Structure 1
Amino acid sequence: MYRIARALLFLLSAERAHRLGMTLLRWLGHLSGMCRGMRARTLAAVTYDASVKVAGLELAHPVALAAGLDKEAEAVDGLLALGFSAVEVGTLTPRAQPGNPKPRLFRIPEHRALINRMGFNNHGAANAAEHLRARSWHPAPVGVNIGKNKDTPLERAVDDYVACVDTLAPLGDYVVVNASSPNTPGLRKLQEPEQLTALLRAVKERLSRVAPGKPLFLKIAPDLTPEAVDEVVDVALACGLDGLIATNTTIARPFEHPLAKEAGGLSGAPAREPANAVIRRAFARSGGTLPLIGVGGVFTAEDVYEKLRAGASAVQVYTGFIYEGPGMVRRLLEGLGPLLARDGFRSVREAIGADHRVPPPAAAVPERQASHPQA
């Protein structure tokens, strides 16, 4: 069914199709009985222990929705109806801004990828707060992803993040600092240790005052060197961060295509392994003590399982959802169970970080005794 719908949607420009999809999800969200029934049917596909706990957040299973799809927190209930274990909204900025000029969103179906340079287009934190405040159904955590306005100087970036915390943190279940989008000039400089430390300490201090106990995550880029990943992990641990979201879109172009020259962040299947590399490095650096949410190139149950074994406690999808459609969560959950059973795991939790665990050495085999008496 979705293949037909996708073919029709893909006749529209990527951004017009996105807008139509969000409108339909927003309408769905008003049908509370249907939402509850749809969610229950999807979760019924879980016939094994799929629950995970990430920085204190209780998730029914490890498949969540990444930020970027619902920028305005307008379709949260419709998205939760599809079975996601959590939904992250944004990126949101203190003031409304139009984002970058159109066109700014490009599909590359041959590579199951998207390129976007949206530029944090949103109607502002206060508008999203109204949408969140109006919700009455809360079956799963909702995160708020925050950033700075494009025209805010980098030296004043902290002010924007803190303002977003004031407006949104009391209404979300967790907060994500986005310092890794490639589409706001200079933003990734905030990932440098000194600036990152100042930013995270300021945000965490304000969060402790306006929404004590809410987990704070940092979303990082896949383009960091291994040494830079180590630095980010060290800063996150020193600042008492609750976890990392790894990763955002990449500026790399690992394939030839007429659209590859378009500026912006690449997401989808080509981002899978770069994201996994960051997850592995961050897990190893923290010794598994810093919770990770893996993002990038998730299309199949095998992709989910790979990220779990690499060290992610949960995964988020975005581009895969665009290509795979509303039945994606159910298919991923149905496919994940056999993978766990194949490797002897009784729960999703047992698989987290499995690739980092050294298998026990094989037991020594005693030499076979001679079958004839010694001379």
Structure 2
Amino acid sequence: MPDWSYHSIFKPLLFRLTSKIARDLTLHTMGGLSRMPGGTFVIKTMGHFEQSAVLQDEIAGVPIPCPVGLSGALDPEGIAHKALAQLGIGFIELGPVTVREVRCDAPIERVSEQEAIVYPDGYANAGADAIAERLRKGTGHRLPHFVRLRPMPGSTPREALLQQQELLEKLAPYAAGFYIDGLAEGWPPDEALAYLREVRQLAAAAGKPALLYIPPQLPEGMLRELQPASWSGGVVGEAQREEGSRRICVGGHALLSAQLSLVRRLRAAGAATIVAAGAVSQPQDALELLAAGANSVQLHSGFVYAGPGLPKRINEAILYERIRDTEEPEPPSFWANWGWMSLLGISMMIGGVLTWLIASTSVLLPYDETFLGVSRSVINRFNGHIIHFMSHDRITLAGTMISLGIFYYQLASHGLRFGSHWARTALLTSCTVGFSSFFLYLGYGYFDPLHAIAAAVLLPMLLLTLRGLKDYPSRKPPGLRNDAVWYRAQWGQCCFVVLGFGLAIGGLTISFVGITQVFVPTDLAYLGVTAELLADWNEHLIPLIAHDRAGFGGALFSLAVAIAASALWGVNQGESWLWWTFLWGGIPGFAAGLMVHFHIGYTDFIHLLPVYIAVLLYVVGLYLLYPFLVRRAGKKAEVTVTA
């Protein structure tokens, strides 16, 4: 459920359900997918978060792969932790955890205008035994767990201390560290302080770091008495408790300013490690908290309102901040790797143009006529539509080749050249599919020497591209805010992802038809003959047409992979080159597909309906993405010049 599908499809539907049903449905769906064979691969592929060593950090001495964590209340039963671990999460909070289960069946509430979530009971959890058993069985991921320990509601400090001792004994084998919660129990300040000191000693005896959990509404004068420097660190809490109630509100626009203030005070008080929990709804919020002194952030309500792509976006923003002032690596030379892929793209474009010229004039090559044993004029005397039909197959193939060449050239020049992992993955996947589709030409036993020569020329270019490829973090400023332009871009991205997958289905279908029945009913209606009659007239005619159809299907599928991968992984603020790639890369394919059908009179509405839908997605997607990809690039350029 990436952001493009979350905001355009799933969020409008989920927000019509009650909060608990929506949460359970989402978590069970993601959790179920992650437990299926290949499920985590699908989740990781859709999100495409590539961990960078630059993001590695620690919390109180515990190594974490990145400084973005997940709140315990977001998935209290750990149903989808294995799935969420693929999205750019570096650590997971469990809790609050009490010695016994605290049940609450009252509904969870969403306050959408404030982007907040209200829980009816801040103590609700499954209890220590259930959580310890779940951890003992395994979680399906390797991320560290930090367990938030909390007393049972209504406990005295002495009762709470005994409870914490029991919790530590049961959970220490599975926890990387503990968040010690006890400042929101309503105890007198001196009793709360004494209780926390003793729990800290118990945690130290268990050999685990103990971080003090500090509610955002902590009185100003109490922070000094807590002596933050004596703890392994501090966690700036995510929940604001309603006076005289166990209801808590997580997130909300007002929480960020309170957390920023508390983070600064903790840093000034000498806290070794600071985790800011619950106030982040966009990358800019995370950067502000880190700049104020936090070491890491923990997501809760922002995950619900901003979408599951938020961890990835935050990590990209943090990564950019960490590398922006470092020396930029020297780009590889043209002949090192990316230049060969550029040449492959140019060759595809040239080949597409030549194919288009031939397909719009003679249509048949000399070796085609040799294979058939008849000339073009003889075919026309038998049926005047056959040559037109073959021209339509070959011109659509030509347009697809040109479009594919444009994508390859652009992905090489703007992605592969600068060490973009997603661009490399897109190119290699598309090329693998494209070269493999060569064998589809043989589906009916027709060997095309020109296609064989083209494959023999292009394959070395692909192999030379594979030399010395390296991944580098992007040095382009990422998008930091969930503004209207960003939300609009999610819909545009959705259009192109759907377009890519739709073309992939179309390419596979055409290839399958090409090597099996060859024709669909509308084809035979246009030709005005049956397949049997064509085979009886010339036994080589259907194999030749099948070769064209299978080849076009393979090329279309290869283009679909490039489009889908670019839309899934490449849509980032200010990447104007990608918008132009979508624009120019789409025009040849769509122009060929539409123009040739109308030129030869093959205008059956059902046959062309998929093309009409594809064109609509293409135009709408370009319109929606333009402000995010192109206008934002212009604004950045203006800022750079002014500076």
TM over 0.5: yes
1:203 maps to what in 2? 199
- Structure whose residues are more often strand by fraction: 1
CA RMSD of aligned residues (A): 2.8
Tell me the percent identity.
25
- Please give the secondary structure, in 2, of the residue aligned with 1:250: strand
1:334 maps to what in 2? 316
1:63 maps to what in 2? 68
Of 6-15 and 133-142, more deviation after overlay is shown by 133-142
Q: Do 1:230 and 1:282's aligned partners in 2 also have CA atoms closer than 8 Å?
A: no
1:1-375 matches, cutoff 5 A: 1-3=5-7, 4-31=9-36, 33-35=38-40, 38-39=43-44, 44-45=49-50, 49-99=54-104, 102-103=106-107, 105-135=108-138, 137-180=140-183, 187-189=185-187, 192=189, 194-209=190-205, 211-212=206-207, 214-232=208-226, 234=227, 236-237=228-229, 240-251=230-241, 264-286=248-270, 289-340=271-322, 344=325
121 and 345 in structure 1: CA distance in 2 versus 1, 3 angstrom threshold = farther
Q: Do 1:244 and 1:291's aligned partners in 2 also have CA atoms closer than 8 Å?
A: yes
- Please give the secondary structure, in 2, of the residue aligned with 1:61: coil
CA distance in 1, matches of 2:203, 2:326: 37
Q: Do 2:115 and 2:253's aligned partners in 1 also have CA atoms closer than 8 Å?
A: yes
218 and 43 in structure 1: CA distance in 2 versus 1, 3 angstrom threshold = farther
1:353 maps to what in 2? none
**TM-score normalised by length of structure 2:** 0.46
315 and 268 in structure 1: CA distance in 2 versus 1, 3 angstrom threshold = same
Structure number with higher relative contact order (C-alpha < 8 Å, ≥ 6 residues apart):
1
74 and 262 in structure 1: CA distance in 2 versus 1, 3 angstrom threshold = closer
Q: Deviations over 1:183-217 (max 9, x none)?
A: xxxx1437x3x3344323332333344x42x2111
- Please give the secondary structure, in 2, of the residue aligned with 1:140: coil
Q: Do 2:88 and 2:315's aligned partners in 1 also have CA atoms closer than 8 Å?
A: no
Q: How many residues align?
A: 321
Q: Deviations over 1:35-61 (max 9, x none)?
A: 367458867445672222221111222
- Once the two structures are TM-superposed, the CA of residue 13 in structure 1 deviates from its matched residue by 1.2
- Please give the secondary structure, in 2, of the residue aligned with 1:170: coil
- Please give the secondary structure, in 1, of the residue aligned with 2:239: coil
CA distance in 2, matches of 1:74, 1:207: 28
300 and 266 in structure 1: CA distance in 2 versus 1, 3 angstrom threshold = closer
**TM-score normalised by length of structure 1:** 0.76
251 and 201 in structure 1: CA distance in 2 versus 1, 3 angstrom threshold = closer
Q: Do 2:120 and 2:247's aligned partners in 1 also have CA atoms closer than 8 Å?
A: yes
- Once the two structures are TM-superposed, the CA of residue 10 in structure 1 deviates from its matched residue by 0.9
Q: Do 1:268 and 1:298's aligned partners in 2 also have CA atoms closer than 8 Å?
A: no
- Structure whose residues are more often helix by fraction: 2
CA distance in 2, matches of 1:63, 1:273: 19
137 and 93 in structure 1: CA distance in 2 versus 1, 3 angstrom threshold = same
27 and 290 in structure 1: CA distance in 2 versus 1, 3 angstrom threshold = same
Of 41-50 and 120-129, more deviation after overlay is shown by 41-50
- Please give the secondary structure, in 2, of the residue aligned with 1:337: helix
37 and 10 in structure 1: CA distance in 2 versus 1, 3 angstrom threshold = closer
- Please give the secondary structure, in 1, of the residue aligned with 2:170: helix
- Please give the secondary structure, in 2, of the residue aligned with 1:297: coil
Of 65-74 and 53-62, more deviation after overlay is shown by 65-74
Q: Do 1:226 and 1:278's aligned partners in 2 also have CA atoms closer than 8 Å?
A: no
CA distance in 2, matches of 1:20, 1:162: 36
CA distance in 2, matches of 1:29, 1:129: 22
Q: Deviations over 1:328-356 (max 9, x none)?
A: 211222233344456x378xxxxxxxxxx
Q: Deviations over 1:285-311 (max 9, x none)?
A: 11xx52100123212221111111111
126 and 102 in structure 1: CA distance in 2 versus 1, 3 angstrom threshold = same
- Please give the secondary structure, in 2, of the residue aligned with 1:331: helix
Q: Do 2:283 and 2:310's aligned partners in 1 also have CA atoms closer than 8 Å?
A: no
339 and 202 in structure 1: CA distance in 2 versus 1, 3 angstrom threshold = same
- Once the two structures are TM-superposed, the CA of residue 7 in structure 1 deviates from its matched residue by 1.3
Note the residue ranges of structure 1 that are not aligned, 5 or more in a row.
Answer: 182-186, 254-260, 347-375
- Please give the secondary structure, in 1, of the residue aligned with 2:212: strand
10 and 102 in structure 1: CA distance in 2 versus 1, 3 angstrom threshold = same
Q: Do 2:118 and 2:249's aligned partners in 1 also have CA atoms closer than 8 Å?
A: yes
Q: Do 2:251 and 2:278's aligned partners in 1 also have CA atoms closer than 8 Å?
A: yes
Q: Do 1:38 and 1:83's aligned partners in 2 also have CA atoms closer than 8 Å?
A: no
Q: Deviations over 1:229-286 (max 9, x none)?
A: 2222x1x43xx42111112312489xxxxxxx99533423321110111000110111
